[in-house]
Amino acid sequence: MTSVRKTDVSEKVAMAFRDQCPAAHLVVGGDGRIRDINQALAQMLGYEKDEVTGRHVLEFVEPQDTGRVLRELHRGPTGEYAPALEIAVRAKNGTCLTLLLTRSLPLPHRPGDKGVEVLLTGIDITDTKTAAEILHQRELRFLRARHLESAGRLADGVAKHFDGLLATIAHAAEKLGTSSPDSKARARAANCVRQATIQATRLTARLRDFAQDHPLKLKPANGAELVASAVESLRPRLGAKVVMTTRVPSNLPMLPADADRLRDALIELGLNANEAMPAGGRITVDVEAANIDHPAGTVDDLDLPAGNYLRITVTDTGAGMDNHTLASAFEPFFTTKDPSRWAGLGLPKVYGCVTTHHGAVRVKSNQGRGTRVMILLPLSQLP
C-alpha cells in the first residue's frame, strides 16, 4: 500500500482552499520565482496558471515597487511582521492593477528548495484607488474654484474701494484747480485728498496683513499683558454707550506669539463688536487656559490636536448675524457696514492671524442676540 505523507495532504487541502478563495494567493520561493498562484490571481492577471508558475515575481511588478517586493521576500524567512503593501502589477493585456498584499508566515521548507517559500495574500483595490484619485482630483478642482472665487472677490473689493478713493481725489483735485487760493472750498478739497490718502494707506496696510506677506515674529508673550494692551488701545475708540469688561487671570502661562499681530487682531474684534452696537451695549473679554485632551482632539467643532491652549472669548450684545452673514463673515471684503468707511477685512485679518499661530477661531451669533468669538492659541512651542 502506498503511504501518503500528512504534509502532502495538508498542502493539497491548502491549495484547494486557495483556489476557491476570491482573494489572490501567491507562493514565492526563496529564489524569487513563483511556485504557485490560485485561480483568483490568475484571472486578475489574465494568465493561465502555468503561464505564471516558474517565472520571477518581479516580471509582473511595476518598476517603482520592485524594491519593496524584494525587501518583503528577504524578510519573509524571518517571520517578521510586515504591514500590508500596495503593489502595482502589470496584467497580460497591459493594464496596471493595484494589489493590497500581506505576507504570511514562512511555509514549510521543501526538500531541494533554495530558501524558504512565503505566501502572499491580497485583494485587487484598483477600482478603489481609481475612485479615490477621482475624488481627490474633484476636491482639488473644488478648492481651486473656491480660491479663484475668493481671489476674484478680493480683487473686486480692492478695485471698488480704490475706485471710490480715486474718484474722491480726482474730484477734490478739480476743486483745487478751480477755486481761489484762500477759499473754503479749496480747504475742503485739500482735506478730502488728505482723508482719501489716509484711507488708501490703511487699506493697503490691511491687505498686507491679510496676505500675511511677512513672517511671524514668535516670542514668549504674557497673555494677560497682551489682552490688557489691546483693551487699553481699544477703550478710547468705543462708543460712548458701550461698556467693556474683562476677566483675565493674572497667572496665565506664556505663549509663543507675534504680540503685535495678535494685539491688532484683538483690537479688530473689539471694533467689530463696537460697530454692532450703535445704540450701546456691552463687550466682555474672557481669557483662560484650556486643555484639549480627549481622543477626538476637538472642542466646539474646532479641529485641533490635544494640548494646552489659551482661550480668548469676546462677546458682545449687539445686533448679531443671520446664518448667511455668519457663513460669509471671514470672507475678504464682505461687510455689512458702510463700504465707504470699512474695507471688510477685519474678521479675515483675525482669522489669518489666529491660523498662522496654529490656532483656531469660532464664531457663534444669533440675529438680535449678539455675537461670541472664541479664539484658541496653542501654548506649546510651535513647529
Cell of 158: 480692492
Higher pLDDT, 154 or 257: 257
Cell of 250: 493674572
For residues 113 and 101, what is the distance between their CA atoms, to the nearest angstrom? 24
Q: 237 pLDDT band (50/70/90 cuts)? A: confident
For residues 206 and 200, what is the distance between their CA atoms, to the nearest angstrom? 10
pLDDT of residue 363: 85
Q: 65 pLDDT band (50/70/90 cuts)? A: confident
Mean pLDDT across 20-40? 83
Q: 3 pLDDT band (50/70/90 cuts)? A: very low
Cell numbers 478563495 correspond to 21
Q: Do domains 6-124 and 214-383 have the same CATH topology?
A: no
User: Pick from 169, 167, 171: which is nearest to 159 by CA?
Assistant: 167
Cell of 153: 472677490
pLDDT of residue 302: 59
Q: What confidence tens digit (pLDDT) does each residue in 139-195 have?
A: 777 766 666 566 656 666 666 667 677 777 777 777 776 666 667 777 777 777 777
Q: Is 6-124 in CATH node 3.30.830.10?
A: no
Does 75 have pLDDT greater than 60? yes
Q: What confidence tens digit (pLDDT) does each residue in 335-377 have?
A: 555 544 444 456 777 887 888 888 888 888 888 788 898 999 9
24: amino acid identity, one letter: A
Annotated domain spans of the chain: 6-124, 126-211, 214-383
Q: Are strands 281-292 and 118-124 parallel, antiparallel or unpaired?
A: unpaired
Does 4 have pLDDT greater than 60? no
Does 272 have pLDDT greater than 90? no
Q: What confidence tens digit (pLDDT) does each residue in 298-338 have?
A: 445 556 777 889 999 999 998 887 776 666 666 655 555 55
Mean pLDDT across 265-276? 86
Q: How far is CA 46 from CA 49, 92, 158, 359, in A?
A: 9, 5, 61, 53
pLDDT of residue 193: 76
The stretches of 46-183 forming alpha helices (DSSP H) are: 49-52, 66-75, 126-178
For residues 382 and 338, what is the distance between their CA atoms, to the nearest angstrom? 38
The whole-chain average pLDDT of the chain stands at 76
pLDDT of residue 313: 93
Cell of 329: 463673515
- Using DSSP, state whether 48 is helix, strand or coil: coil
pLDDT of residue 191: 75
Burial 45-74 (b: 16+ CB within 10 A, else e): bebebeebeeeebbebbeeebeeebeebbe
Does 286 have pLDDT greater than 90? yes
- N- to C-terminal Cα separation, the chain: 76
**Segment holding 101, helix H or strand E:** strand 96-103
Q: Which fold would CATH assign to domain 214-383?
A: Heat Shock Protein 90 (3.30.565)
**Segment holding 259, helix H or strand E:** helix 259-275
Look up the pTM and report it: 0.47
At CA 199, angle to CA 194 and CA 202, rounded to 5?
125
At CA 34, angle to CA 30 and CA 39, rounded to 5?
140
pLDDT of residue 312: 92
